[in-house]
Amino acid sequence: MYTIREISSKRDIRKFIKFPDRLYRDCPQYVPALHGDQMKSLTSCATLAYCKRKLWMVYDEKGEIVGRISGMINPRYNEFYSKKRARFGWFDTINDIEVARLLLSTAEAWAREEGMTEIHGPLYYNTMGKQGMLVEGFENLPVFNTLYNFSYYKDFVEELGYEKEFDWIEQKVDPTQGAPEKLRRVSAALMERYGLHIGSVERLKKDKAKVREFFKAYNESFSGAVQNFVPFTEEEMDEEAKAFFPFLNDRYCAVILDADENLVCFGITIPDISKALQKAKGHLFPFGWFYLLRALRNAEVIDMILNGAVPAWQHTGISSILHTIIGDNFVAGGTKVALTNPQIETNGAINVWNRYATELHMRRRCYLKQL
């Protein structure tokens, strides 16, 4: 016998955050999120200024938590895509389909009450959060900003009427040879032809106007090109910059500028911190910071988080410059493995990895259900 309750107090939200730590405590692939970051995401992040959000937990007869879920509505997404969609996220459950049924049916009922006609997920409020249900690659360690889930999740949501909307692909790339020589020649020719030069992400992140320019380029680069993308508001830009930019440096990242110092394209990578987060167990203190800082100095495994170009420079071969610079960084840093962040399988940009020795690392799925 299970019961579901909507939660809102910070005490209950802390329990909501900690539930997967208990659920996955014997799973070597699970990477705990920092509890402080999760609390901010669930209570005070910039996106909540315009999104609706509900939280529920399921309890068993003993009062133990056995499942959790969030229901969300992003009105900017619905306006951007002319949809009436809710989304679900923070979906975790014990291996019992009745818990999954209670969680999802509750989120669906709320979505109907709000006038929605579809629900999809697992997703975050916007594009930068963790999203996508793992359906392949369960044996691998996920990168820090992605989800991990047990294999039975897929079976549950499909039995409960959800169908594939699209998949994200993550590749494991061998970076030890650097950029192919042909790519290197193309890169040099493009740099000379267009008068481009390498910028500094370390200088960029100290200039608020340049950071805004970066996120404007990010919005323009992915709008219309990436499924489910929702452009950032200025408040979201500032929040992401504060949280993320301090970890970026020129050893791993690349920004290309034109003769007028305008941003042309960018490649954002950082050392993998998943094992450090496992050691931190959700907390920065007392030792979490130590594990993270040590991981950020080790370039053996790199997460390739974000590549993009402003629209005027797309389809010009400009990505060859990024791959050449970042490839040189990998060789110089002794990188042995590079992991791509999730890319939607229909995105033509995914074909760039055909130039390298790669293997599938993980496959994630967004599920959709009509209400």
Q: What is the CATH number of the domain that holds 61?
A: 3.40.630.30
> Residue 171 — φ and ψ, nearest 5°?
-110, 145
Whose tokens are 């408040």? That residue is 235
Q: Are 153 and 224 found together in one domain?
A: no
Q: Are 193 and 231 found together in one domain?
A: yes
- pLDDT tens, residue by residue, 282-310: 999 999 999 999 999 999 999 999 888 88
- pLDDT tens, residue by residue, 128-141: 889 999 999 999 99
Whose tokens are 């997703």? That residue is 123
Q: Please report the pLDDT score of residue 44 as a whole number.
A: 96
C-alpha span between 131 and 73 (Å, rounded): 15
3-state SS assignment for residue 158: helix
Instruction: Answer whether residue 291 is part of any domain.
Output: yes
Q: Are 187 and 146 found together in one domain?
A: no
Domain range enclosing 255: 175-355
Last residue of a domain, one of 154, 169, 184: 169
Q: Which two tokens stand for residue 285?
A: 């203190």
Q: Please report the pLDDT score of residue 311 as a whole number.
A: 84
Instruction: Answer whether residue 222 is part of any domain.
Output: yes
C-alpha span between 79 and 235 (Å, rounded): 19
Q: Please report the pLDDT score of residue 210 as a whole number.
A: 86
Burial (CB count <10 Å: 0-12, 13-18, 19+), residue 187: buried
Q: Are 298 and 282 found together in one domain?
A: yes
Write down the pTM of the prediction: 0.94
Q: Are 237 and 100 found together in one domain?
A: no
C-alpha span between 69 and 75 (Å, rounded): 20
Positions of the chain with pLDDT under 50? none
C-alpha span between 158 and 323 (Å, rounded): 38
Instruction: Answer whether residue 124 is part of any domain.
Output: yes
Q: Are 139 and 180 found together in one domain?
A: no
Q: Are 45 and 105 found together in one domain?
A: yes
- pLDDT tens, residue by residue, 328-354: 999 999 999 999 999 998 877 777 777
Q: Please report the pLDDT score of residue 67 as a whole number.
A: 98
Q: Which two tokens stand for residue 84?
A: 């009436």
Last residue of a domain, one of 134, 169, 204: 169
Quick check: 138 and 364 in contact, CB under 8 A?
A: no
